[in-house]
Chains A and B, each alone.
Chain A
């Protein structure tokens, strides 16, 4: 049983270091389009597009998905400030970068899936970053 969330940016012209600079943290996975970013049992895995992905897994110790999402929002809106947002939006606009928020939750049989708070949805919509739910139970 567990939950976590990611903040993911993608685009053919994405340069990972630009996002790292604005958000001030190292991603879990980052690569440019065409880069080999992983070797699996001798097979090279190349990026079909550029990608920058930060995960709350291992950074937030909570079974509440909203705590994980709050953590990610804190990177874009540190202490509630909005000064990073225009920089991020300009980068996304200039380089045709999209953002989304993949959310993972796995519960016991019969467990109720989490509900993402409206204020969290609104904040991610400002980026804009769509919340993508991967919820399931045993």
Chain B
């Protein structure tokens, strides 16, 4: 089962990128794209899972980091 590795507003830490095996730049870029597609802004909270999935604060899937790299 995928596990949550980030569950806060703002930009995730370097450790989150490391868990996903990507650079922080790649992660930020992917998150910006995912958020932009659902009218989210940079401060809106998302949940990141260790399989790269990204869901909104209601748990609805809105993207996957690996699809945006």
Contact = CB atoms under 8 A, between A and B. Distances in A.
Interface string A80-107: 0000000000000000000000101010
A29 B32 contact: no
Interface residues of B, number: 21
Contact of B37 (A53, A106, A136): A53
A1 B24 CA distance: 10
Q: Which of A1, A53, A102, A138 has its CB near the most chain B CB atoms (within 10 A)?
A: A102
A40 interface: yes
Interface residues of A, number: 26
Contact of A55 (B24, B36, B41, B42): B36
Contact of A49 (B28, B39, B51): B39
Contact of A6 (B28, B36, B60, B63): B36
Interface string A26-43: 000100000001101101
Contacts, number: 60
A113 interface: no
A89 to B, nearest CB: 20
A68 interface: no
Given A132-B42, A134-B41, 5 more contacts: A1-B25, A40-B63, A106-B25, A134-B28, A134-B42
Interface of B: 11, 24-25, 28-29, 32-33, 36-39, 41-42, 51, 53, 60-64, 67
Interface of A: 1-2, 6, 8, 10, 29, 37-38, 40-41, 43, 45, 47-49, 51, 53, 55, 102, 104, 106, 132-134, 136, 138
